[in-house]
Amino acid sequence: MQLKFVALACTLLLVACEEKRPPDADSHTPSNSTAPVLRSELDITLNHIIQQHGLTGNPAQTPLPSIDSPKAQLGMKLFFSKTLSGNLDVACASCHHPLLGGGDNLSLSIGVDASDPDVLGHTRTLKGNKAPGVPRNAPTTFNIGLWKHVMFHDGRVGQVTAGITTPDSTYPQADPKAGDNLVHAQARFPVTSSAEMRGKNFDIGGTSQSCRDLLAARLGGYAPAPHPLQSAETAYWLTEFRKVYQSPDNSAKTLITEQNIAAALGEYQRSQVFVNTPWRDYVQGNLDAINETAKQGALLFFKKREDGGRDCASCHKGDFFTDEQFRNVLIPPIGPGKNTPDDGSQQDLGRSLVTNKPEDKFRFRTPSLLNVAVTGPWGHNGAYTTLSGVVQHMLNPFDTAVNYDVAQLKQPNVQTKQLQQNLREMLGENTDLAGQQYEEQDVRQLVAFLQTLTDPCVTNPICMAKWTPPPDQQDPMGLQLNAKLP
């Protein structure tokens, strides 16, 4: 009888506990979360929003290469080598260094003709104190393998029905030499830009393809080219390619091709997966992973305007925080402009340079916000040099663009003479983001939330060391970039 009484009491206790469970404490509650009864109203609201948006915290749902793979290791050596530049003075890492957020900390990149080729960051300048020739900000390489549709600010490399379109093909036709994936295709183009890596005197009069082929031939030592490499250097690279492609007897001409170079560069970049953020921990149940200010910022970010939010997630969708679409958000038009005539107009027409559609004027790709706090300056041309500044712009684009202060630019000699004239032209087109009233507190909360999207690894030099070749492993001619960082 006593045992039956105890069993009955336990049963009643379990039923009572079950009846007290709040209605939201269902199977959607992460198993590693704080006990549901202890969650705050703020956490409960955010949990509903997370479910509504289908967030998992992890955008890396498809397999990507490991930095430890042989091809990624070869790609890293190439990425840090000046041998892929026409004048042997710049490497891919000069504008996309892992310790600079996968970028260069400059509003507008400085590729060839730097005063000191090894100096990176905000102290990097051009010889003769010249103005920048690269028209756009260097996009971060972090999580580049997660993009599904387009590369570059204007999407000039993009997935199409028959493959991948590039500037070498007529949009939207597929480029038969684009390669196996978007990053492979993207890696083929910086070396062809005269301001970025090619220089003005390499393969003069040649095409983008002839430039790539000539660079590969110089690297392999199987054809004459400007600034030829020493035999020890070409032998070094042949050994590296033979090892990775497991072809000990193949010739340099067979192995060191522009396609194999781009494939290795792409593999290295695709290995830069940095998604282990505090926000991810929070989404997956650790309610202490972010603070109250960041939680308030998350509410503003995800809620619709009519519900008291700022509706940022309408463009910065999903776990990767982008819909990969193109919009005119009135980023102030600074810099030399792109594909402009020699009339000093300094205008950048954005997506329409690819599609030739008037309605695409001044539209640029919606960036991912993962690691956004460390990937500035912000905007397709780096017009904003603080995270709070670009947040204010996105809340009220018209007001901040009209009142843009060029004094915030930290880089000298950035072109701003045509700013007001070009802005008037932009205002004459359809903008894609309406302004809204906001409080200073909103900016603080949104910035706090955006800071939770940073993977701690990217701010830790020890963690990032895997993506940077040791300085004592230089190639024979000493052409590995050993950066002098700010």
Q: Is the CATH number of domain 70-273+462-467 1.10.760.10? A: yes
Residues 96-126: tens digit of each pLDDT: 999 999 999 999 999 999 999 999 999 999 9
Is the pLDDT assigned to residue 270 strictly greater than 80? yes
Q: What is the pLDDT of residue 11?
A: 41
* 144-171 per-residue burial string, b: 16 or more CB within 10 A, e: under 16: bbbbeebbbbbbbbbbeeeebbbbbbee
With a cut of 70, say whether residue 309 has pLDDT above it. yes
pLDDT computed for residue 421 by the predictor: 96
Q: Which H or E element spans position 159?
A: strand 157-160
Structure tokens that stand for 465 in this block: 């060391």
Can you read off the two tokens belonging to residue 87? 């004048």
Please compute the mean of the pLDDT values over residues 336-357 and round it to a whole number. 91
Share of the chain above pLDDT 70, in %: 92
The label of the residue with tokens 């894609």 reads 432
Q: Would you say residue 33 has pLDDT above 50? A: no
Using one digit for the tens of pLDDT, what is the confidence trace for 37-53? 468 999 999 999 999 99
pLDDT at 7: 42
Q: What is the mean pLDDT of residues 146-152?
A: 98
What pLDDT score was predicted for residue 32? 43
Question: Across all residues in the chain, what is the average pLDDT?
Answer: 92
In this structure, whether the domain defined by 278-454 belongs to CATH 3.90.1300.10 is answered with no
Instruction: Tell me the per-residue pLDDT of 429-483, one tens digit each, with 9 for 90 and over.
Output: 989 999 999 999 999 999 999 999 999 999 999 999 999 999 877 789 999 999 9
What pLDDT is stored for residue 38 in this prediction?
A: 66
pLDDT higher than threshold 80 for residue 273:
yes
Q: What is the pLDDT of residues 357-390, one digit of tens each?
A: 999 999 999 999 999 999 999 999 999 999 999 9
Q: What is the DSSP letter of 387?
A: H
Give me 127's structure tokens.
């010889």
Q: Where in the chain is the domain with CATH 1.10.760.10?
A: 70-273+462-467, 278-454
pLDDT for the residue numbered 10 = 40
13 pLDDT higher than 50: no
Task: Name residue 354's amino acid.
Answer: V
> Which of the four pLDDT bands, split at 50, 70 and 90, describes residue 344?
confident
Kindly tell me if the per-residue pLDDT of 24 is higher than 80: no
Kindly report, residue by residue over 234-251, the tens digit of the pLDDT.
Answer: 999 999 999 999 999 999
Long-range CB contacts (within 8 A, 24+) of 394-398: 394/312, 394/329, 394/433, 395/310, 395/435, 395/436, 395/438, 395/442, 395/443, 396/435, 396/436, 396/437, 396/438, 397/329, 397/330, 397/431, 397/433, 397/435, 398/330, 398/427, 398/431, 398/435
Average pLDDT, stretch 382-406?
98
pLDDT interval class at 405 (50, 70, 90): very high
